[in-house]
């Protein structure tokens, strides 16, 4: 377990609830996640397989002893058959080489490209998990902010209830107005309970992504709820798409897979023309003789070298193998094209969401200003007995709605900024002012 994760679990054991900020969430997201660990395991396996292919160039070495006995008829080289009773025993090492250099070379290069692809896919898994954690953090942050707005509104409404109650007792206000305010208090209490539920659900979702206990009472750092721009808004979408095709790990992985397919195609075409090599060298001691003779032991050695070409399946003139390799290369090209098209769509969608959310923030700022003025005027009208309680409550509802809409637009903008960063394939940058 990483130090940060251990510290956080220790904090959960002694503090409840726990407040987390965005940097902590992003670090925890990659510290203890099954998807990321699985991707790393696949990468480790691919690297080991790549090294294993290169190790096939090493000759094999055996060390041992052997015994052989023959009784009965045997035939010599000239064809004569005769009865014999003999035995022999050997002791010593043997070095054997059985190479298909062309096959082994291209297989090693292709395995290296596949290992590179798994590395990029592991990075993609990490970024996806961090993006999911970031999005769920902003969901939690928005839920907490919406709850705070309703709680603030409830406090003001309860104070207003006391004022109206005093006016009713003094005979300067109607009891119907007091009941209307009490109804509004009940409505806001109900809204608070609903927002508490939403906050708890968002906390559970974030805890799932961070692989923390499901009952962890996570709370966000409220200071994070400000518009954060991570990319220069002056950069055009075409430029962002170009950057994405260069930096996205999916594109790098697709390129490596395609290169592996190209090498496999070359393997079917070039490798069969390179001869196979078989060689062996053995040395040690040999002894034995007729009947039960175990003597005559002395040193011995043997050398063998041979070259050969395989014809047929897996060798020369294997057209079907070449066709299959060519089709696989073509398929990887189409897959890379699909990935590129999907990345372009993601960039366009993230950029559109970011711009839309930014514009909505400005619109909601105007709505909040107008609603605040509306509440102020309604309060003044009521003080001068020119207005009614209902008008003031409606104005307050408009202000609350405008403030909530602004919170949601800020959260959507920040999520879209992080989605855009991921879509472009860059790591989170230092926030820029709006």
Is a pLDDT exceeding 90 seen at residue 331? yes
Q: Can you state the angle between helices 175-209 and 389-424, rounded to 10 degrees?
A: 10
State yes or no: pLDDT of 344 exceeds 90: yes
Q: Using one digit for the tens of pLDDT, what is the confidence trace for 277-314? A: 888 888 888 777 787 777 777 788 888 888 888 888 87
- Contacts (Cβ under 8 Å, ≥6 apart) of 128: 35, 422
Lowest mean pLDDT across 63-72, 186-195, 342-351, 371-380: 63-72
CA distance 10 to 3: 11
Nearest C-alpha neighbor of 276 from the set 79, 98, 112, 395: 98
**What tokens appear for 171 in the block?**
């005979």
Of the ranges 25-29, 144-148, 271-275, which is most confident? 144-148
Residue 14: is its pLDDT beyond 50?
Answer: no
Q: Is the pLDDT of residue 187 over 80?
A: yes
pLDDT band at residue 31 under the 50/70/90 scheme: low
Confidence of residue 335 (pLDDT cuts 50, 70, 90): very high
Percent of the chain with pLDDT over 70: 90
Confidence class of residue 433 from pLDDT cuts 50, 70 and 90? very low
Please, which pLDDT band fits residue 160 given cuts at 50, 70 and 90? confident
Overall fold of domain 3-8+18-60+101-273+319-424: Outer membrane efflux proteins (OEP) (1.20.1600)
Residue 365 pLDDT greater than 80, yes or no: yes
pLDDT, position 224: 62
Tokens representing 343 are 């990345």
Residue 430 scores a pLDDT above 50: no
92 SS3 class:
strand
- Tokens found for residue 334: 């189409």
Cα 158 from chain centroid? 48
Task: Quote the pLDDT of residue 7.
Answer: 45
Q: Does residue 85 carry a pLDDT above 90?
A: no
What tens digit of pLDDT does each residue of 350-362 get? 889 888 988 999 9
Whose structure tokens read 């961070």? 210
Element containing residue 84 per DSSP (H, E): strand 81-99
Chain segment 122-135, per-residue pLDDT in tens = 888 888 888 899 89
Residue 164: pLDDT band with limits 50, 70, 90? confident
pTM summary value? 0.78
- Report the pLDDT value the prediction gives residue 313, as an integer from 0 to 100: 82
Q: DSSP assignment of 398-419, as one string?
A: HHHHHHHHHHHHHHHHHHHHHH
Listed by start position, the domains of the chain span 3-8+18-60+101-273+319-424
Tell me the mean pLDDT in the region 370-394. 77
Q: What is the pLDDT of residue 222?
A: 72
pLDDT value at 432 more than 50: no
Nearest CA among 193, 149, 208, 98 for reference residue 403? 149
In this prediction, residues 146-169 reach a mean pLDDT of: 88
Give pLDDT, residue 5.
Answer: 52
* 306-329: pLDDT as tens digits: 888 888 887 888 888 888 889 999
Chain segment 210-266, per-residue pLDDT in tens: 888 888 889 988 766 778 777 776 778 888 888 888 889 999 999 999 999 999 898
What φ, ψ does residue 17 adopt, rounded to 5°?
-80, 175
Averaged pLDDT score across all residues of the chain: 83
| Residue 41 confidence class, pLDDT cut points 50, 70, 90 | confident
As a whole number of angstroms, the distance between CA 361 and CA 325 comes to 54
Determine if the peptide bond prior to 76 is cis (ω within 30°). Answer: no
pLDDT of residue 6: 47
* Count of all residues that appear for the chain in the document: 434
Which of 98, 112, 53 lies closest to 263 in space, CA to CA? Answer: 112
Token pair 């010593």 is found at 92
Closest CA to 110 of 184, 68, 49, 171: 49
> What pLDDT score does 11 carry?
53
């Amino acid at each position: 377990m990483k130090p940060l994760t251990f510290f956080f679990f220790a904090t959960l054991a002694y503090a409840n609830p726990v407040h987390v900020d965005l940097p902590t969430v992003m670090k925890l997201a990659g510290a203890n996640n099954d998807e990321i660990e699985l991707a790393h395991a696949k990468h480790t396996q691919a690297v080991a397989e790549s090294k294993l292919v290169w190790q096939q160039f090493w000759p094999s070495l055996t060390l041992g002893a052997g015994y052989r006995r023959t009784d009965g008829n045997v035939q010599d080289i000239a064809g004569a058959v005769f009865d014999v009773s003999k035995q022999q025993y050997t002791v010593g090492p043997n070095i054997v080489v059985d190479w298909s250099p062309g096959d082994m070379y291209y297989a090693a290069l292709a395995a290296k490209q596949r290992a590179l692809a798994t590395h990029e896919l592991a990075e993609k898994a990490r970024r996806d998990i961090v993006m999911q954690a970031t999005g769920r953090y902003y969901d939690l942050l928005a839920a907490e902010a919406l709850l705070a707005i309703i709680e603030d509104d409830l406090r003001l409404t309860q104070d207003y209830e006391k004022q109206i109650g005093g006016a009713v007792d003094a005979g300067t206000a109607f009891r119907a107005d007091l009941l209307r305010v009490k109804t509004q208090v009940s409505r806001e209490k109900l809204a608070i309970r609903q927002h508490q539920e939403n906050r708890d659900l968002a906390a559970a979702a974030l805890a799932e992504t961070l692989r923390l206990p499901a009952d962890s009472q996570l709370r966000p750092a409220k200071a994070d709820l400000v518009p954060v721009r991570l990319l220069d808004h002056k950069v055009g979408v075409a430029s962002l798409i170009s950057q994405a095709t260069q930096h996205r790990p999916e594109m790098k992985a697709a390129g490596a897979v395609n290169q592996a397919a190209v090498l496999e195609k070359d393997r079917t075409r070039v490798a069969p023309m390179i001869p196979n090599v078989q060689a062996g060298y053995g040395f040690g001691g040999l002894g034995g003789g007729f009947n039960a003779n175990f003597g005559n032991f002395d040193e011995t050695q043997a050398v063998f070298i041979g070259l050969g070409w395989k014809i047929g399946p897996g060798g020369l003139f294997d057209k079907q193998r070449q066709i299959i390799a060519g089709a696989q290369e073509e398929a990887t090209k189409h897959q890379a094209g699909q990935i590129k098209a999907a990345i372009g769509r993601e960039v366009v969608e993230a950029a559109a969401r970011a711009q839309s959310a930014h514009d909505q923030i400005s619109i909601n700022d105007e709505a909040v200003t107008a609603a605040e003025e509306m509440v102020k005027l309604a309060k003044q009208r009521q003080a001068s007995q020119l207005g009614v309680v209902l008008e003031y409550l409606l104005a307050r509802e408009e202000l609350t709605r405008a403030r909530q809409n602004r919170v949601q637009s800020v959260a959507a903008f920040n999520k879209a900024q992080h989605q855009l960063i991921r879509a472009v394939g860059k790591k989170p940058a230092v926030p820029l002012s709006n």
